[in-house]
Amino acid sequence: MFRGTQSLHEWARFDFFLILIALALVAYGLILIHSGSAVSGGSFTFSFQSPVVRQGIFAIGSVVVMILLSRIDYHALLHYAWWIYGLSIMSLVLLLIVGQTDFGSTRWFDLGIFQLQPSEFTKVSLILVLARFISNSGGDAKNLRTLLLTLFLTLPFLFLVFIQPDLGTSLIFISIWIGMVLVAGVTRRHLIILATFFIALIPFIWTFGVEDYQIERISVVLNAEEDPLDSGYNPIQAQIAIGSGGLLGKGLFEGEQTQLNFLKVPTKDFIFSVLGEELGFVGAILLLGLFLLLIWRGLRAAQFAGDTSGQLLAAGFVTMILFQVFINVSVNLGIFPVTGLPLPFVSAGGSSLLTLFVTLGILESIVIHHRAYRQN
Amino acid sequence: MFRNQRARTTLRNRPRGNLRILWVFTIILFGILIARLFEMQIIHGEEFSIKAENNRIVQTNIAGSRGLIYDRLGNPLVNNTVSFSASIVPSLLPSNEQFRYQIYLTLEKILDLPALEITMQIEKFQETSSSSETLIIARNLSHQQALLLEQSAPDLPGIALEMESQRTYLGGPALSHILGYIGAQSTQEWEQLRKKGYGFNELVGKTGLEAYYEETLRGTPGKAITEINAYGTKIKVLNELATVPGKNIHLSIDQKLQNYVSELLERGRGDATIAAAVVMDANTGELLALVSLPNYNNNIFSSSKRDEEYNKLVTDPNRPLLNWSLNPAAPGSTFKLITAAAALEEGSVTPKTSYNVDSLAYEFLGVDGITYQFFDWRIHGLIDLYEAIAWSSNIYFYMLSCGFPQEELPGLGNDIEQSAVTLSYYARHFGLGTKTGIDLATSESPGLIPTPEWKRRSRSGKNFTASDREWYYADTCFMGIGQGDITATPLQIAIMTAAIANNGKLLTPRLTSKITDLEGNVIEQKSTIFTDVPVSQRSFEIIREGMRRAVENGSASLAKLDDISLAGKTGTAEFVSPDGITREHAWFTGFAPFKSPEIVVTVYFNLGQGNLKASPIAGKIIQYYFNNMRDQ
């Protein structure tokens, strides 16, 4: 209670705008989930089976978690970063043993009332451990040893998620690593060496690491019409949905591609197609605009951060959201293979939503506590 | 204290990260997304809209109800009924091969149709049609099967229970050869019919009137433009183009007479396995009855036991699917009428020309130097042309056709070949050797009129010797009495008889009198079509008189009726059956009444004698006509 007055100041520093944008995205998502799941005409009946209600409940719970997290100094989380890191790896290993397999991929723990997707939370743990490690290694990754060690910290996640197989999340891990080391600072020479190394690695991964269905999905992007009824079906229908939306869309609950079930997984991976069809170019730009604002507020938090670890955390979160948005929307637009990534804040899914609000909570914490660590 | 602990965890370095790089990333990545969005929605939006339309909108043909067929008195001979079918839309089947096969296996259980055959049918279908079209995989399901399929269909994506229009024939087996039946299109038929706008699943006439009048009966199909969802379920009908029902066909056939004649033939056939009869209007060519035995039940083609029953019909040695009134046999003595006409026209005989047939067996030295043995069936004594027709003397007609050289009696021409050519000329003008042109799609045979030229052509090649090709004296002689290579169909004999009865009009026989639309308006009234036979009225009178005497007290006397004067000619044609034994076809052909002929009756049995077997039945048919149909 000795910090009572300080607490008021902390609330004054709380970034309400950031939360407002996130809630706007969630609300946008709820409407689209409703459209994608409605049986007909957009009428709504309350039921705990309804994906809209479930998403709403997850959102409320996630906001509570976010508020609680924002009150905690993020250094407390960084303090336990290694523990969290270890637990994450164990959960991914456990998942491979007892997890729930759907569509040939093991991504969930079935906890009865809902399914837990641990790879969502492991993204946060990777960001925590990278932020702490880089911060403790002089605050940048210009040292080759630091750079390689950060890569080695990333690889277990990458590997464990890749063999689920979940190509999308693997790409997000890589993106987080690249984003964070770039923000921290690397030498141009190291950058070139690493880039060369990765390019050399691609054929190897293609041959030994990628499943047939993944190759199929990739070749479908290159030529979707090749197999319109099998692996090409979803991306083609998504493109037809978005393209036919035109400038203003066909109107909410009026998209035939969505309402007549031509579009598959319209509340999750392909929710952007629902948006593109029913609300058109304008609706899609509005969504991307909201994401831009969100990224802006995230980068503002990074700017405000009192120390390197805070700044890297914020940068990691922004990178994560940015790439997840990019990959998900690219899949919908037919310029990226189908990877099964949700659209942040918008797609139906509790694990994803909770993870995103956890990152927002930590961002708020960074903003609230930045004065305490600002060193002039 | 807590703060101190944290202090040990993380170094407090001043943040100096390069956040600009994330802005650069953001701008590039969002730039890509917006550019692509703009390309898809603004530039190519229209194209995608069309694709979306194609997705959800299907156009289907709605078959118009098929026209009906009525008999002479307006009795319906066919009904349109509903039958159940199983359909598959290949594009709606699961893409996973294993799931697909699972569906086929379920279908196999319900439909009794091997899963492998279903796979093959679908593959074949996809070669010619887009996979979003419907394929009927099994027709005429039993109620049990339909019920099972309806219950299972929701779990079988792409499979549906359909209701199709089928035909139920009301006339009984006696009308099967005339009406024919409808069935699924063969691959070859589909090639042709698709150009006429037929759907692959449309049932079409396969034989009989159903086939001959296919386009008349079919009518114009309508179209439905329907919105469907991704599972092929119909959501709503957006637009509909109404169907125009098929037109109705009115037959000249009298259903009761047809059945009566059929029964008469069945009861009177004895050892004969095949029988046919023609009852025709002597002046118009309208057929009152056209019977062929054995017959079949054409309703089996819309039953669930279709294949089984069809196989039975195809393997039956008497070939019930053939219309025997349109298939040829040696005409025997019925042909003597043509020989008589030819001889009268050529002037080689007069009604007074007589010959003394005082023996059953004759030996003649032919012009070719060979001695032939000729037989007659009865010692006729001294007979003229009338008696020769009435008693059907073979010897007399040999004299007319080939002549007796050693008695210096010439035949029809100067030599035997010319005689044969002359005889064939008249035979052709009486309608033999060519199809009659009856309005039935069933393959009609033209029969055969042999000539020396034909013999040389048809007996050429390695399997024949020079003597096989030679035209012998006996060839002309046998032709004169309707034996040898000559063949004719019962229908041809009927129109030949009609030409004698009506003074030389060779009629094109027809089964239909008119075609009407749904409201009963006459669209087409069939008219009488004929060609002239180059024979004088006087000659016809002489022949008719001979035929009258044949019934009065000659070879056809068993046809004689108490109160009706009729004229006729029997035929007992010898042929060598496949077992090597010589057997006989039985014929009768005639007309009534004698003074002003109204109907022609021709009766044929593949085994039997014309005077004994065919004549009495013809008499009964004529009796029936005068008792029951005259006023109609």
Instruction: Name chain B contacts of A104, Cβ cutoff 8 Å.
Output: none
Chain A, residues 106-135, CB within 8 A of chain B, namely: 132, 135
In angstroms, the CA B426 to CA B428 distance is 5
Chain A, residues 31-70, CB within 8 A of chain B, namely: none
Q: Bridge partners of B182?
A: B205
Residue A145 pLDDT > 60: yes
A132 pLDDT tier (thresholds 50, 70, 90): very high
SS3 for B284?
coil
Q: Of A286, A308, A336, which to mutate for an interface test with B (greatest number of B Cβ within 10 Å)?
A: A308
Strands (E) in chain A, as ranges, are 100-102, 105-110, 115-116
A100 pLDDT tier (thresholds 50, 70, 90): low
**A162 to chain B, closest Cα gap in Å:** 24
Instruction: Name chain B contacts of A243, Cβ cutoff 8 Å.
Output: 40-41, 44-45, 47-49, 51
Q: Extract the residue ranges of chain B whose pLDDT is less than 50.
A: 1-7
Report the 3 state secondary structure along B361-391.
EEEEECCCCCEEEEECCCCCEEECHHHHHHH
Q: What is the mean pLDDT of residues A323-331?
A: 95
Instruction: Name chain A contacts of B29, Cβ cutoff 8 Å.
Output: 322-323, 326
In angstroms, the CA A152 to CA A165 distance is 20
Amino acid identity at B269: R
Residue carrying structure tokens 């035909």: B167
Q: What is the mean pLDDT of residues A313-323?
A: 96
CB distance A256–B56 less than 8 Å? yes
Which of B55, B52, B63 shows the shortest CA–CA distance to B224? Answer: B63
pLDDT of residue B155: 80
pLDDT of residue B520: 86
Q: Which two tokens stand for residue B410?
A: 């010439």
Convert the pLDDT of each residue in A284-298 to its tens digit: 999 999 999 999 999
Q: Is residue B45 within 8 Å of A245, Cβ to Cβ?
A: yes
Q: Is residue B254 within 8 Å of B289, Cβ to Cβ?
A: yes
- H helix or E strand, kind and range, residue B223: strand B222-228
A209 pLDDT tier (thresholds 50, 70, 90): low
SS3 for A356?
helix
pLDDT of residue A37: 84
CB atoms inside a 10 Å sphere around CB B536:
14
* A248 touches B at CB < 8 Å: no
* A276 touches B at CB < 8 Å: yes
CB atoms inside a 10 Å sphere around CB A252:
16
In angstroms, the CA B513 to CA B280 distance is 13
Q: Which two tokens stand for residue B477?
A: 């002689």
Describe chain B by its helix, strand, coil percentages, rounded to 5.
40, 25, 35
Q: Of B8, B16, B25, which to mutate for an interface test with A (greatest number of A Cβ within 10 Å)?
A: B25
**B492 to chain A, closest Cα gap in Å:** 60
Q: Which two tokens stand for residue B578?
A: 């496949």
Contacts of A27 by beta carbon, 8 Å cutoff, 6+ apart? none
Q: Is residue A180 within 8 Å of A127, Cβ to Cβ?
A: yes
Measured between alpha carbons, how far is residue B258 from residues B91, B254, B626 in Å?
50, 6, 15
pLDDT of residue B518: 85
CB distance B17–A185 less than 8 Å? yes
Contacts of B229 by beta carbon, 8 Å cutoff, 6+ apart? A260, A261, A262, B56, B235
Chain A, residues 353-372, CB within 8 A of chain B, namely: none
**B224 to chain A, closest Cα gap in Å:** 19
| CATH class of domain segment(s) B82-166 | alpha beta
Q: Bridge partners of B591?
A: B567, B600
pLDDT of residue B541: 95
Chain B, residues 580-599, CB within 8 A of chain A, namely: none
CB distance B229–A262 less than 8 Å? yes
Which of B291, B159, B303 shows the shortest CA–CA distance to B231? Answer: B159
In angstroms, the CA A148 to CA A150 distance is 5
Chain A, residues 214-233, CB within 8 A of chain B, namely: 229-230, 233
Chain A, residues 154-193, CB within 8 A of chain B, namely: 179, 182-185
Which carries the bigger pLDDT value, residue B499 or residue A94?
Answer: B499
SS3 for B86?
strand
Residue carrying structure tokens 């068993």: B558
Contacts of B361 by beta carbon, 8 Å cutoff, 6+ apart? B373, B374, B375
CB distance B22–A322 less than 8 Å? yes
In angstroms, the CA B291 to CA B28 distance is 87
- Spell out the alpha helix ranges (H) of B10-163: 20-37, 45-56, 97-111, 115-128, 143-152
SS3 for B439?
coil
pLDDT of residue B620: 95
CB distance A246–B18 less than 8 Å? no
Convert the pLDDT of each residue in A33-61 to its tens digit: 999 886 655 567 777 778 899 999 999 99
Q: Which two tokens stand for residue B155?
A: 């779990």
Model's pTM, two decimal places?
0.66
In angstroms, the CA B38 to CA B36 distance is 5
Amino acid identity at A101: T
Instruction: Name chain A contacts of B231, Cβ cutoff 8 Å.
Output: 261
In angstroms, the CA B176 to CA A341 distance is 67
ipTM: 0.92
Is the N-terminal amide bond of A203 cis, ω within 30° of 0?
no
Residue of chain B with shortest Cα separation from A303: B19
SS3 for B209?
helix
Domain regions of chain B by residue span: 82-166, 332-431+450-485
Identify the DSSP state of B482: T
Residue A143 pLDDT > 50: yes
What distance lies between CA B250 and its chain's CA centroid?
A: 18
Percent of chain A predicted with pLDDT > 90:
50
